Chain A
Amino acid sequence: MKLAADRWLGVFLIGLAAFVAVQALRLEVPFSYDPVGPKAFPLGLAILLAALSLVLVFKPGANGHWPDRALAVKLLAVLGVLLVYALLFTRLGFVATSLLAIVALARIFAASWGKALLTGVLMAMGSYFLFTHGLGISLPNGYWLEGLI
């Protein structure tokens, strides 16, 4: 497959430029003394973006190294962990979710279970005290846990 990633990117960006332009044209502008208005600048950018993307389509650069299957799985795993971290952040509270996220991330980055758990406990507790007591940031305590107690 020799269709360079840059070609796909170029086509995608032209689509993006069209989207930006259409959205800009649909803006309804109330009367104002501003002769340019909010449309012109995004429209100009869309035209510029489309022109530059055409260059990319016709003169694509070298294809970079793309992740293989194993790496792609790990990438999705990291993203999954971060997403779950975000989802549970306010529900389970900072300490519990951070502990889970740290252990999971450390495992993905090839730490043994023992090291991962130790890092998780130390880092979750340590950062909690640093942030709340040292920097005065208020962190979520977790309303699910508060309900239980």
Chain B
Amino acid sequence: MFDFLIQGFGVALSPLNLGLAFLGALLGTLFGALPGIGPINGIAILMPLAYTLGLPAESALILLAGIYTGSEYGGRMSSILLNVPGDAGAVMTTLDGHPLAKKGLAGPALGLSAVSSFVGATIAILGLTLFAPLLAEVAVMFGPAEFFALMVFAFASMSVMMGKDPTKTAIGAVLGVLIGTVGIDSGTGVLRYTFGMPELYDGIDFVVMIIGLFAISEILLMLEHANRKDSDGDIPPLGRVFISLKEVLYCKGAMLRSGLIGFIIGVLPGTGASVAGAVSYTTEKRLSDKEGTFGTGDMRGLAAPEAANNAAAAGSFVPMLTLGIPGSGTTAVLLGALMLYNITPGPMMFSERPEVAGGLIASLYIGNLVLLALNLPLAGVFARVLTIPRWVLVPGIAILAFVGVYQLHSDLTAIYLMLIIGVFGYLLRKLGFSLAPVILGYVLGGLMEQNLRRALSISGGDVEILWRSGISLGLWIAAAALLVLPWLLPKLLSKLQPSGKPLEQVEDD
């Protein structure tokens, strides 16, 4: 059953793909370390350029996956050194990472973050290797009705788990799906929401969408921090960068547990690194914080979220590769990238395109090693990237965005569209929306409609087909439970024990 992996290593170990895994890891770490650029922005900005290289699908995916995992590493630099998390997944890293840096242990903190990221990612990649083929075998039995139910489940789980405000997460997803309906309807050839503009007949281009949504809105958002002194001068001295074996062993429990937690959370659709980091940190705090040192620079408090969010990043490949349902905003971007190559990830990918599925998984093993090898000795170099001033960074992003979109069709309309989407993304972020649901909705919406219509074509319009099979019925019930339980449980619990504390407060202390 591991034929795909052997074939995958054959693909990933070719000189070109090895080089790309290395390049991806390097670029990803650099972009992730840039102030204000998280993994999703990094991929959004670099993806169009990856296309101009004219790479085959598996090579492009290896490059992008390298950028993804690399930027997860790089994103920790600013959390630890500056107390500024690069993205939502790194928030928990600041809690103990920055106090460590203040104690003069910035170097060891970076080293430990690299080691625990490596351990977490390794656990998750092993999990991916074991479970993805199994899940793919189950998923082969899925028909259009089951896929439709699965997507409803994914959106439900995302609404509950992602972002602060479930209503806004759901609205963001609906807006994303609506944007995805622009263009020629594949079923009937009818034009939808194109307003007579021929440029919109093919729909809103994926690259235009992600560059506008992430890169342009990021530029606008950076204005608010333009004069904030978070980028010059005050980086604490790194000290020694290498971490001792004793320190690693001290944290081994935290790393292993958190890696496992992170993987499981990453596999659930819609829940990514941020949830994993938070859950693992609170778990570890409860289990091993006997002296109350968490939050004051305890190494275990750094190791736990680092292992967990990297494990979640790798874990979110499981639903993406086997079901075609991305587990996070970033994997949604990768999924969209695959679709540009006319590959629809899903259960058939392991049997029909084993070189893509296996090559990607094998390259994750390789990339993970490369990242550890890069990050331990070069932490000091990467930390320099943090000092790049915004007046260099912003024009750089603008140029990459313009060229990335222009080279698609050598066409200015796409650039105007990118700017409009950028303003839209900026407004959404100012209104407290997270952008991951929007991009998930945009990527999944088309598939969702296709599956719904295919299912109803099979049944001749009878909606009962949507919940006729056991799998789809189970998914509908699970989705309903996810939506109702967070609202119902506290009420039930407070009825059972009127003096008991509500759940949320237990989470916080």
> Interface code B173-188, partner A: CB below 8 Å = 1, 0 otherwise?
0110110010001011
The answer to whether B177 and A45 touch across the interface, beta carbons within 8 angstroms, is yes
The answer to whether B219 and A78 touch across the interface, beta carbons within 8 angstroms, is yes
Question: With the chains together, A83 CA to B187 CA distance in Å?
Answer: 37
Question: With the chains together, A137 CA to B409 CA distance in Å?
Answer: 11
The residue that A105 contacts in the complex, of B167, B398, B416, B452, with Cβ under 8 A, is B398
B interface residues, how many (CB within 8 angstroms): 58
The answer to whether A85 and B398 touch across the interface, beta carbons within 8 angstroms, is yes
Question: With the chains together, A52 CA to B483 CA distance in Å?
Answer: 14
Q: How large is the interface on A (under 10, 10 to 19, 20 to 34, 35 or more residues)?
A: 35 or more
Interface of B is mostly: helix
List residues of chain A with CB within 8 A of the CB of B389: 109, 111
Within 8 Å of chain A (Cβ to Cβ): is B373? Answer: no
The answer to whether B181 and A135 touch across the interface, beta carbons within 8 angstroms, is no
> Interface code A5-41, partner B: CB below 8 Å = 1, 0 otherwise?
1100100010000001001100111101111111001
8 Å CB interface, B76-110 against A: none
Interface of A is mostly: helix
A32-B53 contact in complex given A79-B419, A82-B419, A106-B392, C-beta closer than 8 Å: no
The answer to whether B415 and A89 touch across the interface, beta carbons within 8 angstroms, is yes
Within 8 Å of chain B (Cβ to Cβ): is A145? Answer: no
The residue that A79 contacts in the complex, of B175, B220, B453, with Cβ under 8 A, is B220
Question: With the chains together, A72 CA to B224 CA distance in Å?
Answer: 10
8 Å CB interface, B349-405 against A: 389-392, 394-396, 398-399, 402-403
The residue that A137 contacts in the complex, of B167, B392, B407, B456, with Cβ under 8 A, is B407
User: B residues within 8 Å of A by Cβ?
Assistant: 49, 52-53, 165, 167-168, 170-171, 174-175, 177-178, 181, 185, 187-190, 192-193, 216, 219-220, 222-224, 226-227, 389-392, 394-396, 398-399, 402-403, 406-407, 410, 412, 415-416, 419, 422-423, 430-432, 449, 452-453, 456-457, 460-461
Which are the 4 A-B pairs with shortest beta-carbon distances? A35-B461, A111-B391, A102-B395, A38-B185
Q: List 28 A-B contacts (CB under 8 A).
A: A5-B431, A33-B457, A34-B188, A34-B453, A45-B174, A49-B174, A52-B170, A55-B167, A56-B167, A75-B220, A75-B223, A79-B423, A82-B419, A82-B422, A85-B402, A105-B398, A107-B391, A109-B223, A109-B391, A110-B226, A119-B392, A123-B396, A135-B53, A137-B52, A137-B403, A139-B403, A139-B406, A140-B406
User: A residues within 8 Å of B by Cβ?
Assistant: 5-6, 9, 13, 20, 23-24, 27-30, 32-38, 41-42, 45, 48-49, 52-53, 55-56, 59, 61-62, 64, 66-67, 71, 74-75, 78-79, 82-83, 85-86, 89-90, 94, 98, 101-102, 105-111, 115-116, 119-120, 123, 127, 131, 135-140
